[in-house]
A and B are shown apart, each in its own frame.
Chain A
Amino acid sequence: MKLGILVNTDRHANDVVGLTKAAVSKGHEVIIFMMDSGNKLLENSSVTGLSNEAGVSMAFCDHSAQKLGISKEGIPGKMNCGSQFDNANMNSQADRVIVL
């Protein structure tokens, strides 16, 4: 099954990582979309490193990142610098969506 995780705060980095790894270990796919203050976690290598996990796809809202002045240097190439279109796709494709 597919789990969508909308990350719109920077308060639950450990939970983003823990839930993603647990889901993958159980054979699920995970789609992560980061926006608003959740984009502050783009500076957290434990979070961005999830993009290297098999079965995980990640995107972030470029508009939010620009508004927050977040540098895109060092963000893994596997992360899609995207838009709310990616959020819509996640909600369409995922069997369950949680917000952190």
Chain B
Amino acid sequence: MKILHILNDGPTDLSSKIIGTQSKEHEVKVIELSKKGSYESLIDEIFSHDKVVSW
């Protein structure tokens, strides 16, 4: 499964732990909102992943 994590306010200990564990079984991508590039590219990422998690 392709999972996108969007970090609204940067990484936290909890998000890092969960993403690290999840990465062992799934294809995981992490985007920090402040370093997202364009909004259009973020929309494409959101719809090209099976699940999206906001932090």
Contact = CB atoms under 8 A, between A and B. Distances in A.
A28 B39 CA distance: 13
Contact of B54 (A3, A22, A26, A99): A99
A70 interface: no
Given A3-B46, A28-B47, A98-B46, A18 B39 contact: yes
Interface in A48-100: 95-100
Interface string A1-32: 10100000101100100110111011010000
Contacts of B39: 15, 18-19, 21-22
A19 B9 contact: no
Contact count band on B: 10 to 19
A81 B53 CA distance: 27
Interface residues of A, number: 20
A96 B39 CA distance: 15
A95 B54 contact: no
Contacts of A22: 38-40, 42-43
Nearest to A21: B39
A1 B6 contact: no
Interface of B: 6, 8-9, 33, 38-40, 42-44, 46-47, 49, 52, 54
